[in-house]
């Protein structure tokens, strides 16, 4: 099963085009892991709206926050991660505060390419390394990272590669090499590409997969096609919808519900279902890794029950 493979690692990184539902897929993965008794952490990076809202939780404000029993979330702020790194290296709070308050430090933080991303990845590495005080067991059984959108996501993951070459000595270079070892280790980390059945999203996802292989030597573990429109009508019913549309027949199917409006909605669903099938077939021909389709859920409000439905689909994959 897919989740057996993913959950055999301790770090799962999600990447995909903006708007494909990475945070939703990440939260559903965490729910599935929690259902298996895992202690799980969902990590978001500078997310304007945290996934915790779907779980009726409170914003994390940069600290690991329990949103459900056994399920924590944190929204990492790049500047806060850099500030934490300075305190970790300097150790003396008075000296660290002088550095953090310095205008030079702020200019350096703004201008240095890739530094914020490196610090965020360093923080994720620290979370993966974290051990309980007495048992020395990992604090988190699973960490799911909602990485930046594909274009930025590739840069995000390439930063430790660039830093390890550019800074061969010193703590920054050493940390970059440790981060690179972590994300390249298939026994510890799984990269999952997320898309939706639309042309730009699928093309970007396939390009990201190819570049991850070529430039980072990382083979994604799975591909998730989110928001798939599934069959609601039989072949005979679809033919009837198209026939009624062509005839131009009017009337109401219910009081206040015009027949033509219902037919338009039905035609849209049929088109989206066929488009979903087209991209599923295309990806199956192209990919040599597991493909999981998650349904487009029609909900007045996307909430915990909707996430549970997605978690069940992931569990069944």
Residue 158: its pLDDT value, please?
86
CB within 8 Å of 121: residues ≥ 6 apart: 156, 159, 160, 179, 183
Domain spans, the chain: 2-87+113-229+289-316
Query: How far is C-alpha 310 from the geometric centre of its chain's CA atoms?
Result: 14
Closest CA to 296 of 264, 271, 314, 273: 273
Contacts (Cβ under 8 Å, ≥6 apart) of 161: 176, 180, 215, 216
- Give the pLDDT of residue 151: 63
- pLDDT above 70 for 314: yes
Neighbours of 71 (CB within 10 A): 22
Give yes or no for a contact between 273 and 208, defined as CB atoms under 8 angstroms apart. no
Tens of pLDDT, residue by residue over 16-51, are 888 899 999 999 999 999 999 999 999 998 787 787
Residue 152's pLDDT band (cuts 50, 70, 90)? low
Query: Whole-angstrom Cα distance, residue 281 to residue 142?
Result: 31
Q: Which residue has the higher pLDDT, 56 or 217?
A: 217
* Three-state SS at 295: strand
Q: What's the rounded mean pLDDT across residues 88-109? A: 79
Residue pointed to by tokens 């439905």: 309
Residue 175 near residue 122 (C-beta atoms within 8 A):
yes
**Where would I find the H helices in 20-169?**
22-35, 78-90, 93-100, 103-111, 115-129, 150-166
Measuring CA to CA, how many Å separate 106 from each of 84, 101, 102, 119, 192? 14, 8, 7, 15, 34
**3-state secondary structure labels for all residues of 270-286:** HHHHHHHHHHHHHHHHH
pLDDT band (50, 70, 90) for residue 60: confident
Strand partners, 254: 257
Selection from 8, 294, 40 nearest residue 145 by Cα: 40
- The CATH architecture one would assign to domain 2-87+113-229+289-316 is 3-Layer(aba) Sandwich (3.40)
Q: Where are the beta strands (DSSP E) in the chain?
A: 11-16, 40-45, 65-68, 71-76, 142-146, 189-195, 222-228, 252-254, 257-258, 291-295
Average pLDDT, the chain: 87
């Amino acid at each position: 099963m897919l989740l057996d493979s993913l959950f055999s690692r301790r770090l799962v990184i999600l990447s995909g085009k903006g708007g494909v539902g990475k945070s939703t897929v990440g939260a559903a993965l965490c729910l599935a892991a929690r259902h298996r008794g895992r202690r799980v952490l969902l990590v978001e990076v500078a997310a304007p709206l945290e996934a915790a809202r779907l779980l009726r939780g409170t914003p994390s404000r940069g600290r690991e926050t329990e949103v459900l029993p056994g399920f924590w979330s944190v929204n990492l702020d790049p500047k806060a991660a850099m500030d934490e790194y300075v305190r970790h290296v300097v150790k003396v709070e008075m000296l660290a505060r002088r550095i953090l308050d310095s205008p030079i430090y702020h200019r350096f933080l703004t201008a240095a390419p890739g530094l914020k991303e490196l610090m965020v990845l360093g923080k994720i590495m620290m979370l993966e390394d974290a051990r309980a005080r007495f048992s020395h067991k990992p604090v988190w059984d699973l960490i799911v990272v909602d990485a930046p959108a594909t274009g930025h996501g590739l840069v995000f993951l390439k930063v430790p590669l660039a830093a390890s070459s550019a800074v061969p000595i010193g703590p920054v270079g050493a940390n970059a090499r440790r981060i690179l070892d972590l994300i390249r280790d298939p026994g510890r980390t799984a990269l999952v590409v997320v898309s939706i059945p639309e042309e730009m999203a699928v093309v970007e996802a396939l390009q990201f997969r190819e570049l991850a292989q070529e430039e980072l030597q990382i083979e994604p573990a799975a591909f998730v096609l989110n928001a798939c429109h599934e069959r609601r009508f039989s072949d005979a019913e679809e033919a009837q919808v198209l026939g009624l549309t062509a005839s131009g027949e009017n009337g109401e199917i219910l009081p206040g519900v015009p027949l033509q409006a219902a037919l338009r909605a039905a035609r849209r669903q049929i088109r989206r279902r066929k488009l979903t099938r087209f991209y599923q077939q295309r990806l199956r021909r192209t990919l040599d890794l597991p493909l999981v389709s998650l349904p487009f859920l029609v909900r007045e409000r996307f909430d915990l029950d909707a996430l549970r439905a997605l978690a069940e689909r992931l569990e069944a994959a």
